[in-house]
Amino acid sequence: MKNQPVVIVTGASRGMGAWIARWLSRAGADVIITARSYKDLQAHEKNIRADGGIAVSVSGDVSDPKTCFDVVETAMNRFGKIDALVNNAGILEPISKIAECDPEQFKQNILINLIGPFYMIREALSALRESKGRVINVSSGAAINPVASWSAYCAAKAGLTHLTRVLAAEEPSITAVSVRPGVVDTSMQALIREKGPKAMPPELSKYFINLKQQDKLEPPWVPARSIAWLAMKAPPELSGELIEYDDPRIVTPANDLFGDAH
């Protein structure tokens, strides 16, 4: 068995998930990356390998328990252990008031944002106990602060944050942390700017448009670096916490480990 950390990253074909996997690989971790987009995932695996890293991709949807089984089985068959799981896969839609929300879209949001991480944790739990590993769940400020027209997303992220706390209470050998990644310049923000004006309160929609226009969105590599550090180094005393990506307890050691070059 190798000494390098072995980390699973979901939603890893683009944006913040791709950067999490890239940071981990640069620090010497072997990564198992998964996402729905087979083409994008394969391209990202090749990029990591071209940089000298080791990556294995498994395409699929985390809302499907078979995908989660396949990801964990692949990790164990290839590397013999799992040191960390990063539940990053997520969607925002439906962007809609509760009264007008499509029930199937609401359900799908919960499946991907909350049930998927549950499936992944449950499949990986035995290996994580063995390694005294870490589970890093990517949450959101919407887990705490209600956002009009984001009912499914808010509910799912609130559930994920509390699921993290329950996992920390139940599994003392595992370090379980949820992270608020800030407002990140990803496709999710592009979707908000596209669909928000028709579905969100005008002042809220304008707020997100202004963030982009005023260059106030965080580039994906910044919170990804913090999350990658947590996947490799999160100390047990943080278990159960919802942590800001720019918390000095994370940023300083993350910069020391990975550097600032991106």
Count of alpha carbons within 13 Å of 69, Cβ hemisphere only?
3
pLDDT of residue 259: 85
CATH code of the region 6-90+102-182+221-258: 3.40.50.720
Domains of the chain, by residue range, sit at 6-90+102-182+221-258
Q: What is the pLDDT of residues 192-207, one digit of tens each?
A: 999 999 999 999 999 9
Residue of 65, 61, 51 lying closest to 21 (CA atoms): 51
Cα 141 to Cα 157: distance, rounded to the nearest angstrom? 8
- pLDDT surpassing 60 at residue 1: no
The partner residues of 242 in beta bridges, in order of sequence, read: 178
Rounded (to 5) percent helix, strand, coil in the chain? 55, 15, 30
Q: What is the pLDDT of residues 40-97, one digit of tens each?
A: 999 999 999 999 999 999 999 999 999 999 999 999 999 999 999 999 999 999 999 9
- Answer whether 14's CB lies under 8 Å from 86's CB: no
- pLDDT surpassing 90 at residue 261: no
Active site residues: 139, 153, 157
Kind of pairing, strands 175-180 and 242-244? parallel
**Residues in Cβ contact with 153 at an 8 Å cutoff, skipping those fewer than 6 apart:** 91, 92, 109, 113, 140, 142, 147
- Strand positions, DSSP E, the chain: 6-10, 30-35, 54-59, 84-87, 134-138, 175-180, 242-244
- Answer whether 179's CB lies under 8 Å from 130's CB: no
Identity of the amino acid at 104: E
Cα 41 to Cα 54: distance, rounded to the nearest angstrom? 14
Identity of the amino acid at 30: D
- Answer whether 59's CB lies under 8 Å from 37's CB: yes
pLDDT of residue 245: 97
pTM for the model:
0.96
pLDDT of residue 260: 77
Q: What percent of the chain has pLDDT over 70?
A: 99
pLDDT of residue 206: 96
Cα distance between the two ends of the chain:
30
